[in-house]
Amino acid sequence: MVAPTNTRSFRLQGETLRAVEFDAQSAWDRTIEALGGGLLQSWAWGELKSRHGWEAVRLGLMSGEQPVRAAQVLLRRVGPLAVGYVPRGVAGVPTDDAATAAFTLALDRTCRRRRGVVCFFEPESGQVIATDCGDLGWAPSQTVLQPLRTIKVKVDVSDDELLGRMKPKTRYNVRLAERRGVTIRLGSESDLPAFYTLLQETGRRDAFGIHEKGYYADTLRLLGENAVLLIAEYDGQPAAAIIVARFGGEAIYLHGASASAYQRHMPAYLVQYAAMRWARERGCRMYDMWGIPETDDQPSVTSGDGNALNVRDGLWGVYRFKQGFGGEIVGYPGVFERVYMKPLMRFWRRFGPGIG
């Protein structure tokens, strides 16, 4: 079932649990999907990150031939040292304390062999870790990596139901875009320069950072048929575009951009609707809108210099946009960490590079 390159066994509560590193994509992806893991734990995601400064280690915990835990560990070199990161993992049964302890030991060994200073762990659920187990406990971290909340939309329904679950204004905007002649097409790598120009404009407008150009090309290339670039055009010009990827029964809205000049034609609404239909056609049940503010509390109406803030702009404007598609808010427990070199960790917190 698996093709391990390294093994280590742990005996806890009378059961033998064996830690392995996977080196076969098909076995890894089957394991992650079977254990309920998502895109950020997939082999292709690890390959993408490996092109951009990370090393990916696929670590599994076996009970006999049955996987009970699995996590893709990303490691970024910092000189001779490393920082570890488990994005949206561990995949596995959340209530098995023995497996949790054994997996922590295996993860420690993986990181220490690579001179890890710390490993950040970003679980889907707080049940898959233990914070009160002495040497095997995980501490809450100050570090924020992926968004702490998102909105997920159920997409395995008819078009009528998909539209019916949207807020009236959102549904109106989808139809308005169609009436005004906005069209949707599948993009390719040749469209990436135009997409990147839209990203630069959107990043300036909404105050968020973007990757370098090659990252988006690698996303489409490495995720293959499980990723798509959808382009909304008005009068033959790119008006909005998004990159969406799927794994298992879920698709994720990864990157999006739009041109201010065409916003009145509502292309961003139509391209999201098209993405949800794309996800449904590929067997997805859910569509993850990815990233909303940590709370529903509104920002102050004035900034530090006394100027009025427009809460329709930036992330708050994006939040309102995403809410309109009728999904449910999902929260995550945050980031936890295991520190292996405390003096160096204090230095890294103050001066070290980010790991995003």
Is 292 in the same domain as 176? yes
Is 126 in the same domain as 153? no
How distant, in Å, are the alpha carbons of 14, 143, 181, 210 from that of 311?
Answer: 57, 25, 30, 22
> In this structure, is residue 356 part of a structural domain?
no
Whether the CB-CB separation of 268 and 253 falls below 8 Å is answered with no
**Mean pLDDT of all residues in 160-179:** 98
> In this structure, is residue 235 part of a structural domain?
yes
Predicted confidence band of residue 223 (pLDDT cuts 50, 70, 90): very high
Is 322 in the same domain as 345? no
Is 196 in the same domain as 345? no
Domain membership of residue 100 as a residue range: 4-146+333-351
pTM, entire model: 0.90
Q: What is the CATH number of the domain that holds 241?
A: 3.40.630.30
Rounded to 5 degrees, φ, ψ at 73 are -100, 120
Is 279 in the same domain as 340? no
pLDDT at 21: 93
Is 142 in the same domain as 153? no
Taking alpha carbons only, the member of 183, 152, 173, 131 closest to residue 291 is 152
Is 129 in the same domain as 191? no
Fill in the amino acid letter for 2.
V
Average pLDDT of every residue of the chain:
88
> Which among 18-27, 115-124, 271-280, 335-344 has the top mean pLDDT?
271-280
Question: 33-37, 142-146, 272-276, 299-303: lowest mean pLDDT where?
Answer: 299-303
Give the residues across from 231 on adjacent strands: 185, 241
Query: Rounded distance, CA 73 to CA 40, Å?
Result: 10
